[in-house]
Structures are given as C-alpha cells and as structure tokens.
Chain A
Amino acid sequence: MLSLTHFAKSYHNRLVIQVPDWQLPAGIHWVKGTNGSGKTTLFRSIAGMLPFDGQIVLNGQWDCRRHPVPYRLRVNYSEAEPALPGFLTAWELIQWVGTAKQASGMQIDELIDAFGIRDFMKTPVGTYSSGMLKKTSLVIGFLGDPLLILLDEPLVTLDQQATETVSRLIRRYHEQGVSFLLSSHQDFNLTSLPVQSVWRVQEQTLTQEPLTSGPV
C-alpha cells in the first residue's frame, strides 16, 4: 500500500529519520516513539507537507513528488497539535479542505455530527479548547475518499465519547479499504482496533515490534 525507498529527512543537516526500505501493506499500523523521535516528521513527509530525500509511493501508482495531485487526494493527515489560523472558523477550514479533497456535503455533515462540533464550528478557531481543535483536525483528516489516513496522536486531549468516535470511524473506514498510520502514546490495543503491525521510531530509523509488547 505504501512504500518508502531511500527515505531520509534532515533539519539543518541533522538527520532526523532515515528509512532505507519500508513496504507497508494495507491495514492499520501503529507507529510508536518517544517525544522528538521523528514520528511527526515521518507523518508530515508521507503527507507531502515536508520535502525529503528518497521516494514515497502509494499503491505502487502514485509517487508523492511525480503525482502530487492524485497522491494528495488519497493521503489525508490529521495533526498532533493542529496549527490553524485562529481567525477562521472550523466550518471555513472544513469547507476548504473538503472541497479540495472532493468530500460530499453529506460526508461533511456526518463527520461534523460524529465529532459533535456543530455548536461551535462557526466561531473562530482561536477561541477553541485543545479538545475542540483536535476534533476539528480529526474531521479534516477523514474528509474525501482517501486510501491512507495519517492520524498523529489522534486520542490526545479527547474526551471518552470522542475517543470512541475515532475508534468507530477508523474501524468503519478500514472496512471500506482505507489504511491507517497511527501514532500514539496511548495503547491502541485497549481500543480493540485490528492493528496489523507496530513500528518504533528510534535511533533515526524504523524498527518493527511484536504486536502486544513494549512501552509506548
């Protein structure tokens, strides 16, 4: 489903993460790592938001660089700490991303109701709590018809109900053929999601871990 070849990302000539070869099958995959290990950098690179060395290809068809439009149409991203313009409303941002990702009005409505953001979605983002901001970012992450959704710390700052909504949506989208890359300090085993593989970002690379072990 996703392949990274000779992938490397550096900041100021300091290597953050390097992945010589990573072939990820369709499914739900969990990426672990300590703070600052490079998870977000990896996710942002896969989302096409950061320049990188190497190659990222989706489904053997869409290269992140050579096919920027079809690739981005199929790869969605929800940020760990959403940085959104404080003067815009969630509704404006959702409309903007939804239009670009070719989301239907019905899908937008469903996601808004699923995360319960209708009451505040027409007030500026700058007035939101961290939980409201996170829900907005999650709605954005599920828009359109993606093949891969990257959820960076999707459960952080969420209440119990929203956590269940995220799990339910991941399961539903997964049944429809959507793959997920999740990064979290919380244990996804507790959410009973069918996690297919677990990876750890450490020492500037990715290593696979057994499904049920290790500290987060």
Chain B
Amino acid sequence: MTGILTKVLTRTIVKPFYEQNAGLLAVVFLIAGSFLRAIEHITLAEVAIRTHFVLAIYIGIWAIYGFHTTRFAARVLHDEPFLHHLRLIPVPTQWLVLVLTQLQLLLPVLVYAGFVATMAINAGIWLSLTVILLAIAALATWPLIWYTRILRNPATERFSGKLGSWFSQRFTTPYLFFFLRYLLSRQPVLLLLTKTGTLLVLLGLAALYPTDDYDLRLFGLGGLLAALAHITIVYRLYQFEHESLVLYRNLPVSILRRLLRYMIQIAVLLLPEAILLVRYRPHDQSLTAMLSIWAFALSLTLLEFSLLFKRHRLPDELFPALFWLLIGGFFAIMYQLPVWLLAGSGWLTASILFIRYYPQSVWETR
C-alpha cells in the first residue's frame, strides 16, 4: 500500500512541483555550475563546516526551500479532495508516505547537504555533521504537522486575513497589480527566493567591483543572471493569465497596450534591482550606464515572457531556451557590445515575438 500511495503523491505533488519550479532550479544549477568552479564549491563547504555562522546560513537557505516545498504540497493537499482519503489509512503509513514525499521534494537540498556532510566526515568535524543531519531530519518531518492538520480539517475556508480583508473593503486593485497580488498571496516564497537571490548577486558584484580592474560588463553579467533568475516568476505570469484571467482576452485592449501593460508589470517586479543598481553605483560608472544594465535585464525578462507565447511549453522544457539565452547574453557582454544596444535589441525582439504570437497562444494541458 505504501508504494501505491507514494506513487500517487509523487504524481500529484512531487512531479508538478519540479515541473513548476524547473526554471528556478535550472537557473540555480546554471549559476552554480558556470560561475563557481569545483574547487570553490569545496572551499565554501569547508568554510561552512568550520564556521557555525556560515553553516547557519546554509541551513537557513535549506529551510526557505523546505518551506517553499511544504507550502506547495499543503496547497495540493488542501485543493485535491481525493487526497483527503489519506486520513483513512493507519497513521504510521500515513506519516511514512508523507515523509517519503517530503524527502523527494527536498532532493536538491539532500544532494547538497550530503556533499557538505561528506566534507564534515572527511574532516572529522562531528558537531557540524550532527547539526546537518538534525537539520535534514527536521526539514523532512516538521511538515507532517502542517499536512496532518490539513487532512484532519479538509475543505477549510480560506481567509485573506484581517489586513487583506481591510484592504479589499477599501481599495480596488488596478489590473497592473493583479499579478503582484497573486505573487504576494499565492507565491510569497518564490518571490522571496528570487528577489533574495538576484539582489544578493548584484550586491556581491557591487562589492567585487572595486577590488579589481572590472568594468560595466561585470554588472552586465549580473543583469543577465537577474533576468534568468526571474524565469519561474515570468512563467507564473503566463500561467496566471491563461488559467485565472482568461477573460482578459475578451476585453477590448489592443495588442500594443497589452504589451505595454506586461512591460510595466515586469518593470515593477524588477524595481528592487533598479534601486539597488542606482544605490550601489560605482563612482566611475554613470547613472545612465547603471540604468542601461537594468534596461538590459528588463528586456531579457520580457523576451523570456514573449518566448512563452511562441509555443506552449511546460516549465521543465524551458531549460534549452534558458541555456541559449545565458550563452548568447554572456558572449554579447564579454565582447563588449554596448549594453543599450543589447537592451534595445532585446526589447525589439520581445515586442515582435509578442505581437506575432500572443493572439495565437493557448494554454494546452497535456
């Protein structure tokens, strides 16, 4: 019975989770694989097992990822009434399949934690090893409290909370902020993870810049990474519009105005990056130059969005497009093509693709 139940949960929770987060995970792997060499990974792990503070940061990141997975699984358990039958099976079996499911969701963390734990064993630092093992055990088991609560209280009504209710009674959200509200209410962890990641990368580059003879290309690479890191959020926008706002297609809005509205929504999403680039502008770089980096990141993000309309793809099918965007962007920056030119080309290509393919696009479930 355990095998069948695990299979059901794998198909309903694990598989959709990885499909929906494939873009984000792909970007993390691309960044980890292309910008850090093997020796640097080993050095980082060695620092972590020897420094409690760094190890705590590692575990904190794993915990945020764990919370993201748990939130996803909890939502599926809440929304799929047939999964509420799990309540009818013996508690030990119920817990076993739920922990097995959680372990599958934690797979990227398990692999990396296994690597760090191996380093701790080799170095004979048993305290760090124990802390890592306890952290993993906690990440695999604490969601049981959440999951069990959902199974014991099926079909509970969702409330928007006092703040949400107060907001709804007094204000009307303009269309341009529908998606931002969706992210804040339905995907806060995704938003937090993406923003934390891109802002940390840009901050790191700003700190690195004065240490050597770097030029604007360094921030150009940052802009490229920031755009690629937003792929999952961009996919969510595409999915949200197709699944929950399909009515928008019946509204009398011209294609150019639609394009402009999506540009504004994506620009709002990338506003923190703009603020950071301006705030940490190096003394030898002009404001225009830093804004060109932001415009470049914006154009690439818009290009990712427009590409989605060309052919309906599942999130895990985005990897090749991301790879080529990374390679193309990397060489364009390293060959010192003007950033404004790159941004302009990106915007133009994104606009042409959007105008050409948006009216023909359709969300086709397989």
The residues of A with any CB-CB pair to B shorter than 8 Å are: 11-12, 44, 47-51, 65, 68-73, 75-77, 79, 83-89, 91-92, 95-97, 100-101, 122-124, 126-127, 140
Contacts and interface: CB of A to CB of B under 8 A. Distances in A.
Nearest to A69: B252
Contacts of B165: 123
27 contacts: A11-B364, A12-B364, A44-B246, A47-B250, A48-B249, A48-B250, A50-B362, A68-B254, A68-B359, A69-B253, A69-B254, A72-B250, A72-B251, A73-B252, A83-B243, A87-B160, A87-B185, A87-B186, A88-B181, A91-B172, A92-B172, A95-B172, A101-B251, A122-B169, A124-B168, A127-B158, A127-B159
> Mostly helix, strand, loop or mixed at chain A's interface?
mixed
B340 interface: no
A190 B362 CA distance: 37
B251 A92 contact: no
Nearest to B258: A68
Contact of A123 (B168, B243, B253): B168
Interface string B168-193: 11001111001001100110000000
Contacts of A68: 252, 254-255, 359
B153 interface: no
A76 B245 CA distance: 15
B288 interface: no
Interface magnitude class on chain B = 35 or more
B360 interface: yes
A87 B169 contact: no
B164 interface: yes
Contact of B250 (A11, A49, A92): A49
B252 A87 contact: no
Nearest to B240: A85
Contact of A49 (B168, B249, B255): B249
Nearest to A140: B247
Nearest to A121: B168
A100 B157 CA distance: 31
Contacts of A83: 243-244, 246
Contact of B168 (A50, A86, A89, A100): A89
B118 interface: no
Given A79-B247, A124-B160, A127-B159, 6 more contacts: A12-B364, A49-B246, A85-B240, A100-B251, A127-B157, A140-B247
Interface in B118-177: 157-160, 164-165, 168-169, 172-175
B361 interface: yes
Interface in B211-265: 240, 243-247, 249-255
Nearest to A64: B359
Contacts of B250: 47-49, 72, 75-77
